[in-house]
């Protein structure tokens, strides 16, 4: 008589285990990132005109990676010139915005494609078995930390245009893929148009609060009505345009009062106030202290 001492796996537990397994796209991305030599040569296309009828051309950067097999790709290398080249497993083609490429489906091949938009990254896994074309897997992820992603893309493009060694380009590409893979593991919805607009407006205020800003002027800057701008601030920021601007100015005033010995009038002007008396009254109403009292309290 034998006893099975291993704990049984319930249907629910099995479902959890299966759902925890990486999908095909994640497996391919992990392999490209972790395996030395998985990425061999990175080629660079260029913006071009006169694309063939069946060529792919988008207003965003794209990356095509050959995972298995081989494929002939025709791609733009200058505004009016193209090149046809055979790509094998590990070869990569970077296509900048308004560059184009045309796959010639002949031999069996598997391709991983990335479309990199401003707020999202599209991943697609394609295959051609010699007679049939299949889109095996596809998904979209939020493009967060855009400064990092865009910086790596710029480095990749610079390396390609200067014909730097392929080892360096492959390291940069692996870093870019790793960045996208890490970012998509933190679930987050795409920002709505209103959220995106609020972020742009507040960034504009943060950079120009020391100037004479009005609700109407900022609204014109973003081609919206002043009333809609107020609605965005109430809905997205739970505040008003005036209070947000005042908060940024007071925040900077406190920093300047604690960090330099400029006269109150100079600090007032540096924070966007033309009337020093109004600045002093507003500062006391917001902080409970006059600017001089605030400075003295920091110095004490």
Encoding tokens for residue 101? 């490429």
The residues near 60 (Cβ < 8 Å, ≥ 6 apart) are 97, 115, 116, 117, 118
d(CA 210, CA 39): 49
What are the φ/ψ torsions at residue 84 (nearest 5 degrees)?
A: -110, 130
Are 95 and 62 in contact, with CB atoms under 8 Å apart? yes
Q: Judge if 83 and 151 occupy the same domain.
A: yes
d(CA 109, CA 129): 7
Total domain count, the chain: 2
**Which CATH number does the domain housing residue 118 bear?**
2.60.120
Q: Judge if 105 and 250 occupy the same domain.
A: no
Q: What is the pLDDT along the chain (300 residues), one digit of tens a residue?
A: 333 333 344 444 444 334 444 688 889 999 999 988 899 888 888 888 888 888 989 888 999 999 999 999 999 988 889 999 999 999 999 998 889 999 999 999 999 999 998 778 999 999 999 888 898 888 888 777 777 888 888 888 777 665 556 778 888 899 999 988 887 665 555 567 888 899 899 999 988 998 989 999 999 999 999 999 999 999 888 899 999 999 899 988 888 887 767 889 999 999 999 899 999 999 999 888 999 888 887 665
- From 184, 201, 231, the end of a domain falls on 184
Q: Judge if 180 and 263 occupy the same domain.
A: no
Are 284 and 290 in contact, with CB atoms under 8 Å apart? yes
Q: Judge if 57 and 167 occupy the same domain.
A: yes
Q: What SS3 state is found at 83?
A: strand
For residue 263, count CB atoms less than 10 angstroms from its CB and return exposed for 0-12, middle for 13-18, buried for 19 or more: exposed
Does residue 161 fall inside a structural domain?
A: yes
């Amino acid at each position: 008589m034998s006893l099975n001492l291993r704990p049984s796996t319930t249907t629910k537990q099995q479902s959890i285990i299966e759902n925890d397994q990486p999908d095909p796209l994640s497996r391919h991305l992990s392999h490209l990132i972790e395996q030395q030599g998985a990425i061999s040569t990175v080629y660079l296309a260029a913006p071009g005109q006169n694309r063939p009828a069946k060529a792919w051309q988008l207003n965003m950067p794209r990356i095509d990676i050959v995972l298995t097999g081989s494929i002939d790709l025709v791609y733009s290398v200058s505004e009016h010139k193209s090149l046809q080249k055979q790509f094998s497993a590990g070869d990569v083609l970077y296509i900048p915005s308004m560059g184009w490429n045309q796959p010639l489906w002949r031999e069996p091949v598997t391709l991983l494609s990335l479309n990199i938009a401003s707020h999202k990254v599209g991943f697609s896994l394609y295959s051609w078995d010699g007679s049939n074309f299949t889109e095996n897997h596809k998904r979209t992820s939020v493009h967060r930390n855009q400064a990092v992603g865009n910086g790596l893309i710029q480095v990749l493009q610079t390396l390609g245009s200067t014909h730097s060694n392929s080892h360096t380009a492959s390291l940069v590409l692996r870093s870019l893929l790793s960045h996208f893979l890490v970012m998509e593991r933190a679930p987050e919805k795409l920002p709505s148009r209103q959220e995106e607009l609020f972020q742009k407006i507040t960034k504009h205020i943060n950079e120009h609060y020391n100037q004479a800003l009005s609700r109407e002027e900022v609204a014109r800057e973003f081609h919206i009505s002043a009333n809609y701008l107020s609605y965005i601030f109430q809905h997205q920021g739970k505040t008003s345009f005036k209070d947000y601007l005042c908060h940024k100015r007071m925040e900077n005033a406190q920093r300047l009062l604690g960090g330099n010995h400029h006269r109150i009038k100079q600090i007032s002007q540096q924070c966007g106030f033309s009337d020093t008396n109004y600045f002093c009254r507003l500062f006391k109403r917001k902080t409970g202290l006059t600017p001089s009292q605030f400075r003295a309290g920091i110095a004490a």
